[in-house]
Amino acid sequence: MLYGIAVFPTQTVQDFANSWRIRHDPHYSIIPPHMTVREQEELSDLQLPAITEHLEAVASQTKPFQIRFNRVSSFYPASHVLYLALEDPAPMVRLHEAVCSGPLHVPAPNFVYTPHVTIGQNMPPDELHDLYGNLRMSEVNLTSAIDQLHLLRKTASGMWHVDKSFSLQG
């Protein structure tokens, strides 16, 4: 089965992101606004107990924290993605590093981890530039408490569902 690890921002942040995602993100209907902590990958039933135990340990050692989204940014030209960017990504980077250790260690990541909430993707370049030009001048000041980590599973219908949640308790 295909699994991923993510955190969900507050409903206020999700509502703001969804106001853009509904028109500009083809994944709008299959997963709520989130910040990926670890990319999706195939995991077997045999791997799940060790991964669950690892995520429980990470959550027990990680204190809940606050994040603030302060701007819209883009991954262009690497990919046609617009996203809400964090004022200080350090807490999310630390969480990512803790999760991506032990049984979830990634020996050679394909990219630098950039925590974000996607608000648009797979857009034609002209649409991406036009929307980015408008949004980067908008004031963004959204805060969110991060107090849970979620193991997500992709269902046969293509929807992502929370398989297990881990409360941050550090």
Residue 156: CATH number of its domain: 3.90.1140.10
Q: Please, where are the H alpha helices in 9-83?
A: 11-24, 48-61
Domains of the chain: total = 1
- Residues identified as active-site: 34, 116
Statement: residue 7 has pLDDT above 90? yes
Statement: residue 111 has pLDDT above 90? no
Residue 119 neighbours by CB under 8 Å, 6+ apart: 17, 20, 21, 24, 25, 33, 72, 82, 83, 84, 135
Statement: residue 108 has pLDDT above 90? no
- A 10 A CB-CB count for 112 gives 6
Taking only the tens place, the pLDDT of each residue in 55-79 is 999 999 999 999 999 999 999 999 9
How far apart CA 112 and CA 34 sit, in angstroms, is 18
- Quote the tokens at residue 53: 């135990």
**What pLDDT is attached to residue 148?**
98
Range of the domain at 69: 2-167
